[in-house]
């Protein structure tokens, strides 16, 4: 009775807003609980209802369209939604409602063309979360969760939806859409639910007969792999969706031994709300997964596939206490498996996508310093204790350069001393790599001119040795006005240990 009283109060406010639509096409109003509306409970400010009208929409005769619509909440704090009410005056075939950041799909509130803002339901779901799904052609529907169970809307978010409008009349109609959010105080929150979806895409409904399409989906393994823990999913709410040919929906749980139990079933087709809430929640820890099936009675003489208009759908939205976000679907390879009475049976393999609900965000990219002309730099010694370790890098680099320039013989002792002395001098304004290069080239020249040397440098000059001599001349000529292409200027900033390699 408490929930019904709140719903009635929200409906009354929505109706009063619709009467003012001509004056204010899109309006929002907030109401708090009163003693009479809550069955005598005191008004302690722990509950409130946000009611919004999206304004009037006109549909031409037999018009079918799929626009988007949004409502910016302007909330500086999180909202904890315990119930959602959606009311319309007809023409709204179905709609899927999500919450996304304010800066996503930017634009004014109200109806808009989805493609103008690049809207896609998948992008919206990854950016936010599902809030509500409308039953097929329902005019008034309430999604009521148990006490303390909520959908969380983060700060500075908005409500957005892709809606399917269909006017089957031979005259134009004018319709209005209104929504109410029942929110509760954070101290009363016990469970934050997350959405998941079951979809059978690979529909090929045969003409002039009844058929049923079933997906048996093992979700325990993907769930455990995504969260790295136990299969602790608890189901709070389910809502199926088919079109006018749909005459059955069934949801079952099954275990490792093949035993199954029907937990929800709907037969026939009407425009009433078709969801079900579980209180207490349905725990799936003892099962392997879910089996869902959609039945159709195709009285037409053509096959029907997946789509809008005169085509069909088979979808179930669930809200669960879950540590993973899951999307389960039958995409391809649906095949006939037998006959049950006059019903042709089909079944297809399930594809399960699961990822952690609280997946860590990737760390921001590290800012790289601007590339400089020096190919590799060594850390500059900053203290006496760190000089020995920082000097080893330029010494090794010096030895490699000496071998490349002068031959394969080890670097002479004078060369090693020069490298070590210059690399460990903290007051040098030039990078250690520059100092060691000059030391290497100088030592290389001395080695080549040493009388009686038996190293390869005493042989006739080779292109490698000539290159070494040229480097020595280029480095030891400080008065040169022009420098060769690709060399560094004489004045450089000190080395940085985080400078990137070229």
Residue 168: which CATH number?
A: 2.60.120.310
**Number of Cβ atoms within 10 Å of the Cβ of 280:** 8
Which band of pLDDT confidence, cut at 50, 70 and 90, is reported for residue 344?
Answer: very high
For the ranges 9-23, 146-160, 218-232, 302-316, which has the lowest average pLDDT? 9-23
- Each residue of 394-406: pLDDT tens digit? 555 555 655 555 4
My answer on whether omega of the bond before 280 falls inside 30° of 0, hence cis, is: yes
Which band of pLDDT confidence, cut at 50, 70 and 90, is reported for residue 501?
Answer: very low
Q: Which residue has the higher pLDDT, 435 or 187?
A: 187
Stretch 34-47: mean pLDDT:
52
- Give the count of domains, the chain: 2
Evaluate whether residue 418 is within a structural domain. Answer: no
Stretch 103-128: mean pLDDT:
90
The reply to whether 19 and 137 lie within a common domain is yes
**Number of Cβ atoms within 10 Å of the Cβ of 282:** 21
Separation of CA 224 from chain center: 19
Residue 95 has a pLDDT of: 84
**Of 446, 185, 200, 461, nearest in space to 313 by CA:** 200
The reply to whether 182 and 210 lie within a common domain is no
Residue 137 has a pLDDT of: 74
**End-of-domain residue from the set 324, 359, 394:** 359
The reply to whether 57 and 34 lie within a common domain is yes
Helix (H) or strand (E) holding 254: strand 246-254
Whether residue 413 has pLDDT greater than 80 = no
For the ranges 90-99, 141-150, 281-290, 409-418, which has the lowest average pLDDT? 409-418
**End-of-domain residue from the set 191, 224, 248:** 191
The reply to whether 199 and 268 lie within a common domain is yes
What b/e string do you get for 469-491 counting C-beta neighbours within 10 Å, with b at 16 or more?
A: eebbeebeeeeeeeeeeeebeee
Secondary structure letter of residue 425 according to DSSP: -
* Cβ-proximal residues to 377 (8 Å cutoff; 6+ apart), any chain: 431, 432, 433, 495, 496, 499
Residue 449 has a pLDDT of: 42
**End-of-domain residue from the set 359, 384, 407:** 359
Residue 152 has a pLDDT of: 94
Give yes or no for a contact between 347 and 337, defined as CB atoms under 8 angstroms apart.
yes
According to DSSP, the β-strands at 209-218 and 343-348 are: parallel
Residue-range definition of the domain harbouring residue 27 = 1-191
Residue 271 has a pLDDT of: 58
Residue 333 has a pLDDT of: 95
Evaluate whether residue 410 is within a structural domain. Answer: no
Whether residue 94 has pLDDT greater than 50 = yes
Stretch 157-169: mean pLDDT:
91
The reply to whether 169 and 44 lie within a common domain is yes
Give yes or no for a contact between 14 and 156, defined as CB atoms under 8 angstroms apart.
no
Evaluate whether residue 322 is within a structural domain. Answer: yes
- Each residue of 288-335: pLDDT tens digit? 999 999 999 999 999 999 987 788 999 998 999 999 888 999 999 999
Q: Which residue has the higher pLDDT, 483 or 87?
A: 87
Stretch 264-280: mean pLDDT:
79
- Each residue of 60-76: pLDDT tens digit? 999 989 999 999 999 99
Which band of pLDDT confidence, cut at 50, 70 and 90, is reported for residue 121?
Answer: confident
User: Could you tell me the CA-to-CA distances from 237 to 49, 278, 280, 285, 408 in Å, in that order?
Assistant: 21, 6, 11, 17, 76
Residue 260 has a pLDDT of: 93
Q: How far apart are CA 380 and CA 446, in angstroms?
A: 27
Evaluate whether residue 371 is within a structural domain. Answer: no
Q: Ranked by mean pLDDT, which of 2-6, 273-277, 280-284 comes out on top?
A: 280-284
Evaluate whether residue 28 is within a structural domain. Answer: yes
- Each residue of 455-467: pLDDT tens digit? 443 344 444 443 4
Evaluate whether residue 380 is within a structural domain. Answer: no
**Of 151, 108, 155, nearest in space to 133 by CA:** 151
Give yes or no for a contact between 67 and 165, defined as CB atoms under 8 angstroms apart.
yes
Which band of pLDDT confidence, cut at 50, 70 and 90, is reported for residue 270?
Answer: low
Q: Ranked by mean pLDDT, which of 118-127, 414-423, 475-484 comes out on top?
A: 118-127
Helix H, strand E, coil C: the string for 52-101 is EEEEEEEECCCCEECCEEEEECCCCCCEEEEEEEEEECCCEEEEEEEEEE
Q: How far apart are CA 196 and CA 159, in angstroms?
A: 18
**Of 34, 161, 157, nearest in space to 88 by CA:** 161
**Of 434, 108, 72, 93, nearest in space to 244 by CA:** 93
Q: How far apart are CA 405 and CA 440, in angstroms?
A: 9
Helix (H) or strand (E) holding 153: strand 149-153
| Residue 456, SS3 per DSSP | helix
Evaluate whether residue 63 is within a structural domain. Answer: yes
Which residues make beta-bridge pairs with 325? 355
The reply to whether 4 and 42 lie within a common domain is yes
Q: What's the chain's average pLDDT?
A: 73
The reply to whether 2 and 115 lie within a common domain is yes
The reply to whether 222 and 110 lie within a common domain is no
For the ranges 17-21, 224-228, 282-286, which has the lowest average pLDDT? 17-21
Q: How far apart are CA 145 and CA 320, in angstroms?
A: 11
The reply to whether 244 and 115 lie within a common domain is no
The reply to whether 104 and 236 lie within a common domain is no
The reply to whether 184 and 218 lie within a common domain is no
The reply to whether 35 and 150 lie within a common domain is yes
Evaluate whether residue 184 is within a structural domain. Answer: yes
Report the CATH number at residue 238.
2.60.120.230
């Amino acid at each position: 009775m408490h929930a019904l009283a709140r719903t009635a109060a929200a409906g009354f406010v929505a109706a009063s807003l619709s009467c003012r639509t001509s004056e204010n096409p899109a309006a929002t109003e907030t109401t708090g609980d009163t003693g009479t509306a809550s069955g005598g409970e005191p008004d302690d400010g722990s509950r409130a209802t946000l009611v919004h009208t999206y304004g009037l929409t006109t549909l031409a005769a037999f018009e079918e369209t799929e626009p988007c619509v949004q409502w910016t909440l302007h909330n500086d704090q999180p909202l904890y939604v315990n119930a959602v009410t959606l009311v319309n005056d007809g023409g709204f075939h179905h709609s899927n409602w999500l919450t996304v950041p304010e800066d996503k799909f930017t634009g004014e509130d109200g109806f808009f063309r989805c493609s103008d803002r690049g809207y896609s339901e998948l992008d919206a779901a990854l950016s936010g979360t599902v809030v509500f799904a409308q039953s097929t052609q329902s005019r008034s529907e309430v999604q009521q969760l148990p006490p303390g169970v909520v959908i969380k809307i983060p700060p500075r978010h908005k409500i957005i939806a892709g809606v399917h409008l269909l006017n089957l009349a031979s005259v134009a109609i004018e319709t209005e859409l209104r929504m109410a959010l029942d929110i509760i105080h954070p101290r009363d929150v016990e469970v934050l639910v997350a959405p998941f979806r079951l979809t059978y895409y690979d529909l090929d409904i045969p003409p002039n007969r009844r058929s049923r399409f079933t997906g048996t989906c093992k979700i325990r393994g993907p769930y455990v792999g995504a969260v790295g823990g136990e299969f602790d999913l608890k189901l709070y709410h389910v809502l199926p969706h088919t079109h006018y040919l749909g005459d059955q929906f069934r949801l079952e749980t099954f275990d490792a031994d093949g035993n199954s139990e029907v937990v929800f079933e709907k037969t026939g087709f009407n425009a009433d709300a078709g969801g079900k809430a579980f209180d207490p929640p349905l725990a799936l820890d003892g099962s392997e997964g879910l089996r869902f099936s959609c039945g159709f009675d195709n009285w037409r003489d053509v096959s029907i596939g997946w789509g809008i208009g005169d085509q069909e759908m088979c979808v179930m939205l669930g809200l669960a206490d879950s540590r993973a976000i899951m999307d389960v679907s039958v995409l391809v390879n649906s095949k006939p498996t037998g006959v049950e009475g006059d019903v042709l049976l089909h079944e297809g393999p399930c594809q399960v996508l699961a990822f952690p609900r609280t997946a860590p965000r990737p760390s921001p990219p590290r800012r790289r310093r601007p590339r400089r002309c020096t190919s590799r730099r060594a850390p500059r010694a900053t203290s006496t204790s760190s000089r020995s370790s920082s000097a080893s890098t330029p010494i090794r680099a010096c030895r490699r350069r000496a071998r490349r320039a002068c031959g394969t013989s080890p670097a002479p002792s004078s060369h090693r001393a020069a490298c070590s002395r210059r690399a460990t001098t903290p007051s040098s304004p030039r990078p250690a790599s520059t100092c060691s290069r000059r030391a290497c080239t100088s030592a290389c020249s001395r080695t080549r001119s040493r009388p009686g040397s038996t190293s390869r440098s005493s042989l006739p000059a080779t292109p490698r040795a000539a290159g070494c001599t040229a480097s020595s001349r280029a480095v030891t000529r400080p008065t040169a006005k022009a420098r060769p292409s690709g060399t560094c200027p004489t004045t450089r900033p000190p080395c940085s240990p985080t400078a990137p390699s070229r």
